[in-house]
Structure 1
Amino acid sequence: MNIVSYRLLAGFFRLISWVPLRLLRVAGKLLGNILWALNGRARQTSEKNIQVCFPQMDKNQQSRLVRHSMQHLGITALEMAYVWCRSPQTNLSRIMQVTGQEHLSAAVAEGRGVIVLAPHLGNWEFIGPYLGLHYQATLMYQPAKRPALNKIIFDARENTGAKLVPTNTSGVKAQWRALKKGGVVGILPDQEPPVESGAYAPFFGIPTLTPTMTFSLLSRTGARVVMAYAKRIEGTGDFVLVIEPADEGIYSSDVQVSLAAMNAGIERCIMAAPEQYQWEYKRFKRRPDGNKKFYP
């Protein structure tokens, strides 16, 4: 790692982190409007995703949702500097309300381990400090491509008290061991996996390559599952952390039923704040028919 690059990047992030979150959101919204005007890959991918996921919307409704999602993309980008450079305690202070805590508490009390599924909705980085400080959770971590950025993110997540494990076989084994001990693990369930680690299941009615890791962990441990997301409170710099029980179908021994239920749970979370979802991600890149031209 280039130490100069690290210090410059870390210094820039620390500078941003001292700006109040409420002002960062104003700046992030402006950044999102610029991204919208540039009409680059992020906007084009968002337009395609929203078009196929919300066919019931007319063109104006779809366009409005795309623009709002681009604004939240800009907000997320600036919020990341804040959450990575502030203490876990400071980050938790931005969570004004936790709804559904009873679902997580009840699942933990069963002693079979708990899988927390956190879609890329709102700002998922605020969930880590909550799980780390309260439950010493085991979280998967995929290194960033830039070494300097990777160190910043890794140090921030490790500082929460969570145990970080890699997104490979050894990481899955570490999560399995944590669950067998009755622990809490966190998984981001809405990223496209390698073909050998996924199966196609409906997501907004579209066959989507879906990770089978959660199904495998459930099959081996009998753990419980909850959904969680940190939703922005409009007009503030704060969040509400929402915890919901997963669809019962996720516990099915049939992989197709389980994956469909997991995706249905993700959809339900998204519908609570669709403008705050990561629509710029190419979620439908690999098609079951081999079509490689889904996106522009």
Structure 2
Amino acid sequence: MERPQFRAYFLHPRFWLLWLGLGLLWLMVQLPYPLLLGLGRGLGALMYRVAGSRRAIAGRNLELCFPQLSAGEREKLLKENFASTGIAFFEMAMSWWWAKPRLAKLAHIEGLEHLQQARDEGQGVILMALHFTTLEIGAALLGQRQTIDGMYREHNNPVFDFIQRRGRERHNSDATAIEREDIRTMLKVLRNGRAIWYAPDQDYGPKQSIFVPLFGIQAATVTATSKFARLGKARVVPFTQQRLADGTGYRLVVHPPLSDFPGDSEEADCLRINQWIEQSVSQHPEQYLWAHRRFKTRPEGEPALYAKRR
């Protein structure tokens, strides 16, 4: 996929309001990091009050996944999750626009040798990540140290799409965004010994999924991780990230590659992935993206787990 190019069409009056908003965000994100964290928490508190449907989805997910917590504990966790989501808004802008040396100071990376070894051996890597609220800045910080390609879904607004892609691809010279549906290119890239960021933790419907437990609930789980690893002859390397509570930045962990993966069956592989997801999310549940309807697709005959959208 070619690098995004600026077009004169982006200056059309229909985009002026967006450009104004992006300009104001650029100015705000020049503030000191601790102040941005505080602004993000304030934005999250506002979102908690006004985003009723997303709050209901996140609350329902917490109820399903952490039934051992009291209602009060889940409510506290929900508010912290919205605070983390508000911070993520500014982290996104930081990853797009901060000077690279300033951004790099926030990175505390462990396990980079697993990616370096695969690169030295010409081995492709599926960097298996999760939809944490720190997703954007985590990918940027790792991208400064190791070339990582990414699966990509084009945004409907061409100006925002241009800004987003430029921001994501600027951290190393040859990183590219691959359309999510472009499986042929993804497999080619893996066979050429490159690493691709990929997250298998969302509900993509029944056609490309099978049902295996996640937090004790039957969840539609994509089988693509096994297929990509097999067809791309790639290692699956788990990757987690965490916003540090002391305000010093982010802990990024590149874990050892999964052994004997793919296994004997897609069901066993999906179960193994979901168990890893449970373990990783449970360590920092307040930083996970709970506003996604993860259990939307149900096995035949089972009732819906979310209230109907109005």
Comparing 197-206 and 257-266, the one that deviates more: 197-206
Matched, 1:24 2:36: yes
User: One-letter code of the match for 2:41?
Assistant: K
User: Structure 1 residues 290 and 70, CA, compared in 2 at 3 Å: closer, same or farther?
Assistant: farther
Aligned match of 2:215: 204
Aligned match of 1:35: 47
Q: Secondary structure at the match of 1:139?
A: strand
Counterpart-to-counterpart distance in 1, 2:212 and 2:258: 15
Counterpart-to-counterpart distance in 1, 2:87 and 2:303: 31
Match of 2:268 among 248, 257, 266: 257
User: Structure 1 residues 290 and 86, CA, compared in 2 at 3 Å: closer, same or farther?
Assistant: farther
Comparing 278-287 and 232-241, the one that deviates more: 232-241
Aligned match of 1:274: 285
Native 8 Å contact 1:227 1:246 kept in 2: yes
Counterpart-to-counterpart distance in 2, 1:20 and 1:148: 27
Q: CA deviation at 1:3?
A: 3.8
Native 8 Å contact 2:123 2:191 kept in 1: yes
Q: Secondary structure at the match of 2:290?
A: coil
Matches within 5 A, 1:226-265: 226-236=237-247, 238-245=249-256, 247-248=258-259, 250-265=261-276
Aligned match of 1:73: 85
Structure 2 unpaired stretches of 5+: 1-9
Match of 2:27 among 6, 9, 15: 15
User: Structure 1 residues 80 and 280, CA, compared in 2 at 3 Å: closer, same or farther?
Assistant: same
Native 8 Å contact 1:204 1:267 kept in 2: yes
Structure number having the greater helix percentage: 1
Matched, 1:157 2:168: yes
Identity %: 27
- What TM-score results when the alignment is normalised by the length of structure 2? 0.85
Larger Rg: 2
Native 8 Å contact 1:128 1:160 kept in 2: no
Aligned match of 1:84: 96
Q: CA deviation at 1:52?
A: 0.6
Match of 1:44 among 42, 52, 56: 56
* 1:153-191 per-position Cα deviation (integer Å, ceiling 9, x unaligned): 1111121231111010x2x22221121121111112222
Aligned match of 1:121: 132
* 1:224-272 per-position Cα deviation (integer Å, ceiling 9, x unaligned): 1122132111131511112223554642141111111112222222122
User: Structure 1 residues 88 and 139, CA, compared in 2 at 3 Å: closer, same or farther?
Assistant: farther
Matched, 1:182 2:193: yes
Q: Secondary structure at the match of 1:185?
A: strand
Counterpart-to-counterpart distance in 1, 2:157 and 2:250: 29
Native 8 Å contact 1:136 1:184 kept in 2: yes
Counterpart-to-counterpart distance in 1, 2:239 and 2:52: 30
Native 8 Å contact 2:235 2:258 kept in 1: no
Q: CA deviation at 1:42?
A: 2.0
User: One-letter code of the match for 1:251?
Assistant: P
Q: CA deviation at 1:115?
A: 0.9
Counterpart-to-counterpart distance in 2, 1:246 and 1:211: 19
Counterpart-to-counterpart distance in 2, 1:122 and 1:272: 14
User: Structure 1 residues 148 and 219, CA, compared in 2 at 3 Å: closer, same or farther?
Assistant: same
Match of 1:101 among 105, 112, 117: 112
User: One-letter code of the match for 2:278?
Assistant: E
User: One-letter code of the match for 1:127?
Assistant: G
Q: CA deviation at 1:292?
A: 6.8
Aligned match of 1:57: 69
Counterpart-to-counterpart distance in 2, 1:260 and 1:249: 14
Structure 1 unpaired stretches of 5+: none
Q: Secondary structure at the match of 1:242?
A: strand
User: Structure 1 residues 286 and 252, CA, compared in 2 at 3 Å: closer, same or farther?
Assistant: same
Counterpart-to-counterpart distance in 2, 1:76 and 1:101: 24
Q: Secondary structure at the match of 2:145?
A: helix
Aligned match of 2:7: none
User: One-letter code of the match for 1:163?
Assistant: T
- What TM-score results when the alignment is normalised by the length of structure 1? 0.89
Q: Secondary structure at the match of 1:196?
A: coil
